[in-house]
Each structure stands twice: as structure tokens, then as C-alpha cells.
Amino acid sequence: MSQKTPDLHSAYALDSPEDHKQLYAEWAGDYDETFAAREDYQLHIQTARAFVAAGGQGPVLDVGAGTGLCGAVLAGLGVGPIDATDISAEMLDQAMRKDIYRDAIVADLNQGIPVPQGSYSGIVSSGTFTHGHLGPEALTALLRVARPGAQFALSINAQHYEKLGFADALHKLAQGQIQNLTLSEVRIYGDLAAGPNRDDTALITMFERT
């Protein structure tokens, strides 16, 4: 068992993929109630809406899908088919119960995603780049599975965007691998949130693969 209690504070304190897997294995069963509802989580809604507003369409890969919060919004907006990938098999088990995903793929982004190159027309991620345990190196794996012209909508914690090297990495990618890069800052949590992270913001990072 993890020594960290499954909650928002321990999620922000994650240090490694193993820590991530342990924490989310324990949190999966009541994640939607103890995190999403209690903290008035809003980022998945805003990320999904931004993807659709930009003309995003399926097949979509929901990266760091967790229990399927973002995928449910995408499906409700008429997007599909949607596949889910996450490092936590337990979280994906919860996601698949919502009957919105075509497939679930257990994967560590640092090790790549085991699907053929160019499998997806859209890549969406809400929350994966929020806690600071995953850096811009993971973008390589996402670009590999995206088709030319694929629409990306990635939420990145505003505090980490420059500090962890996302700004530099995306600037370099914009020299030939991606285009139409835009950033939109939004609140991660709603007005009902409490605690030290209640006012955290994220940059919804939009771009297309060239």
C-alpha cells in the first residue's frame, strides 16, 4: 500500500511513475466523488470544449484518461471513437465502465504508447500535465501516434509551463513538427473548491501536428 493518502495534496507530491500507479490504484474507486466533485474540478470540461471548438474529431486518444471525466465530456459533445490511455490500470477499469471508450491502453508516456504510428486524428489531455511529475519529454510519444493535421488539446499547469520546459519544447516543435500553437489560461477548479490549490490555473495548449 502507498503511504500517501489518496487526495489532491498527495497527487501534487508524486515523484515517480511507481508513486503514480500506487496512489491512483488506491484512489480509482472513489476518485470521481472524493476529487472531481469535492474539488469542483473543471479542467476536463474546458479542455474537451476547446478541442471541439477547434474542429477536433475522432479517432481521439484521451491521454491520462483516469476515470474518464474528459472522455465523457467529449462523447457528450459528439466526438468519437475515443481510446483511453493511462498509467493506472485501475483507473482505466473505472473509465471503461462508463461505456464511452473504444479501447483502454495501459501505458507510461515516458516509455511510449503501444499503438501504431499515426493512429489518431485528435489528442486530448486534461490533468496529465497538472501535478508536475511528467515533463515535455512525453510530447514525443504523443506526436508519434498523431496523424498529420491531428488536433491537440493539452492542459498544462501554468506554474509548470516554463519551469519544466514546456515553453521551450513547444517552441522547438513549432519549427516544423507542429503549427497553430495557441495558449488559453483557465482555472483548474471551480468556485466550490477549497484548499491551497483552489486557484491553480492551467494553460490549454492547442496545436496541430504538421
Residue 52 lies in a domain: yes
Give the tens place of pLDDT for each residue, 165-204. Answer: 999 999 999 999 999 999 999 999 988 877 777 899 999 9
Cβ proximity of 178 and 200 under 8 Å: no
Q: How far is 74 from 205, CA to CA, in rounded Å?
A: 17
Give the CATH number, domain containing residue 22: 3.40.50.150
User: Dihedral (C-alpha) 183, 189, 195, 201: value to the nearest 10 degrees?
Assistant: 10
Residue 13 lies in a domain: yes
For 189, residues 6+ apart whose C-beta sits below 8 A from its C-beta are 39, 40, 41, 42, 43, 197, 198, 199, 200
Residue 178 lies in a domain: yes
Tally the C-alpha atoms within 13 A of residue 134's C-alpha that lie toward its C-beta. Answer: 30
pLDDT at 35: 56
pTM: 0.85
Cβ proximity of 67 and 43 under 8 Å: no
Residue 181 lies in a domain: yes
Kindly state the average pLDDT of the residues 55-67: 96
Residue 130 lies in a domain: yes
Q: How far is 1 from 146, CA to CA, in rounded Å?
A: 36
Give the tens place of pLDDT for each residue, 11-45. Answer: 444 445 565 545 555 544 455 555 555 678 899 99
Location of C-alpha cell 499547469: 157
Give the tens place of pLDDT for each residue, 109-164. Answer: 999 999 999 999 999 999 888 765 789 999 999 999 999 999 999 999 999 999 99
Residue 22 lies in a domain: yes
Split into its structural domains, the chain has a count of 1
Q: How far is 51 from 137, CA to CA, in rounded Å?
A: 22
Give the tens place of pLDDT for each residue, 111-125. Answer: 999 999 999 999 999
Residue 3 lies in a domain: no
Amino acid code (one letter) for 55: G
Residue range(s) defining the domain that contains residue 71: 8-209
| CB-count exposure of residue 114 (10 Å: 0-12, 13-18, 19+) | exposed
pLDDT at 36: 58
Q: How far is 204 from 195, CA to CA, in rounded Å?
A: 23
